[in-house]
Structure 1
Amino acid sequence: MVRGKTNTISLPLFICSPFCHAPILLLPGQAFAPLTDPSASHMRILALPALAGAGVARRRLALFWRRAGRRGVVGGMGLLEQCEAAFGSPDLYRVLGVRREASPEEIRRGYHRASLRVHPDRAEPDAKEEATRRFQILSKAYAVLSDAEQRAVYDEQGTVDEEGEALRGERDWQEYWRLLFKKITVKDIEDFENKYKDSEEELADIKAAYMDFEGDMDRIMESVLCVNYTDEPRIRNIIEKAIAAGEVPSYKGFVKESKQKMMARKRRAEKEAREAEKTKDELGLCGEDDLKALIQSRNKDRKKEMDDFLAQLEAKYVNNAKKGGKKTAAKKGKK
């Protein structure tokens, strides 16, 4: 392929590149015009015969991302391209979840909130590399916006200085994070959770997540802070009230979610609880009897809420099914 030229393919191909989150299927006769020179280090295009299957293409693309994560950058991709690939947007403000007019303190808080979702220390072992890559990109975005001169250039020109001090390649971004934010104590966790839960901020976050994910409870529960799957009855109640008040639309994915999907969330919650127990030593919770007792107590309460919630659903659907069965039997008897 030559830069600037349009290429027409003669056989079905799966095209993968750093800019794709999934392989793209091109059919014979379709034109393909690469945006940049594929021979460049930052645009590595992998073409696979369609007969190889989408699964093979996805695995190849996943392998590319894992290798890129180990390098800390994706080939020669710039920061904005990395943000697009990792977070779906090249806008640094959007990546941090803040307004373009945000104050330095708002940007700092936005970085802290966003980093808690992707911090490698919070990731499962098999997801650590991907979390590290996303954490590095997020930290670079903050480094640019927290520097007055870099931010001014970005706001005016939409570019960043890739060679600048803020983005120097050898920086330890996890150490940088620890310098910015003090070590979190048990009291910090309790204070933040108590202040955040049922606050206007949490309500706004829940509504925003509901709108962003069009009622998909799996993704809503993953994105809201201080929430695990056993909080579902409370979160669902908040959303139902917002729908009734006309504050958010009624999405089919929410109002008609299947019981099977809800049960899958419960199973994941139980699995996560078991894994958390195994990794408490790594998190420095050994000897923290008060914290352990607090977590166990809250988990029991939340588990009971979740069990009650699912029991109500079961009673509703099972009883309806039984009533329907009796009516059918009665009709057959009359015949």
Structure 2
Amino acid sequence: MLLLEQCEELFKTSNLYEVLGVCKEASDAEIRRGYYKVSLLVHPDRAPDDELATTKFQVMGKAYAVLADKEQRAVYDAQGIVDEESNTLDQDRNWEEHWRRLFPKITIQEILDFEKQYKGSDEEVEDLKRLYLLHEGDMDLVMESALCCTYEDEPRVHDILQKAIDAKDVPAFNAFICESVKKKNNRKRKAEKEHKEAEEMQKEIGMNSEDSLVAMIKQRQKSKEHGFNSLISDLEAKYCKKPAAGKRGKKK
């Protein structure tokens, strides 16, 4: 089956940009970042025995390979076609190894440095506004999806979104401005429960300081839209060096 047909079957769209969750005008860095984020959802590590997930992962890799190649991207943008015979779409390529070369692991310190830099930045504000629009003001979903956020960050997040509403950058959704006290309290209880579970896990396992830190971050991020890996996706997309370009695919 051809790549665009696979995309339509698996993702209900033949648009390669939509498969990677980016717009057509996205920069190379944004496409790389988008590929990382969406691929985490179906990465073989998450479901090693899931054949459908593995197939989706491979197709995402092919979509990225096309859009990461300037010549192929230009042809796709102009004609809406993909060169199925190009070397970049080699059927025998190990897409898991290719993914690992693109996104090697980073350190815990880099994660912490990123969090420190990200909080309060313009990037965080834009991300929060995007999530607010996506979830139509539902703070449960916004807080679950926001990077680097715990329950303690909620007043700060709420203030950022309220300022965006006041500035008419985003609409005033009823779910946000009329949220019930009960809903807020439920969110608080859930956060307290997760924090307690993380502390108990530390005591039971007897982790060292670094392992403990990793566990706390994982526990804190486990409800996020992409799990723990959503926190480090920006890091790996930003800081991991892109490997040297290989051979260009041949054209028909």
Correspondence for 2:28: 104
The residue type paired with residue 247 of structure 1 is D
Unaligned runs of 5+ in 2: 221-252
The residue type paired with residue 32 of structure 2 is R
Give the TM-score of the pair, scaled to structure 1. 0.51
Correspondence for 2:233: none
Correspondence for 1:67: none
TM-superposed CA distance for 1:185, in Å, is 0.8
The residue type paired with residue 68 of structure 2 is S
The residue type paired with residue 17 of structure 2 is Y
| Alignment RMSD | 4.1
Unaligned runs of 5+ in 1: 1-75, 280-284, 301-335
TM-superposed CA distance for 1:265, in Å, is 4.0
TM-superposed CA distance for 1:106, in Å, is 3.6
TM-superposed CA distance for 1:206, in Å, is 0.8
Correspondence for 2:225: none
1:176 corresponds to 2:98? yes
- Counterpart contact for 1:230–1:266, Cα < 8 Å: no
The structure carrying a bigger strand percent of its residues is 1
1:214 corresponds to 2:129? no
Correspondence for 1:246: 168
Distance in 1 (CA, whole Å) between partners of 2:94 and 2:186 is: 38
Cα distance 1:244–1:131, how it changes in 2: closer, same or farther (>3 A)? farther
- Structure number with greater CO (CA < 8 Å, separation at least 6) is 2
Please show how residues 1-335 of structure 1 align to structure 2 within 5 Å. 76=1, 78-80=2-4, 82-83=6-7, 89-116=13-40, 119=43, 121=45, 132=54, 134-228=56-150, 231-266=153-188, 269=191, 270-271=193-194, 274=197, 289-290=209-210, 292-293=212-213
Distance in 2 (CA, whole Å) between partners of 1:127 and 1:210 is: 35
Distance in 2 (CA, whole Å) between partners of 1:176 and 1:266 is: 41
Identity %: 50
Give deviations 1:274-313, integer Å, cap 9, x for gaps.
479869xxxxx9965146258759x89xxxxxxxxxxxxx
Distance in 2 (CA, whole Å) between partners of 1:276 and 1:85 is: 43
TM-superposed CA distance for 1:87, in Å, is 5.4
Higher-Rg structure is: 1
Distance in 1 (CA, whole Å) between partners of 2:195 and 2:56 is: 22
Range 153-162 or range 206-215, more displaced: 153-162
Give deviations 1:152-189, integer Å, cap 9, x for gaps.
22111112234543334443333222101221111121
Distance in 1 (CA, whole Å) between partners of 2:180 and 2:143 is: 16
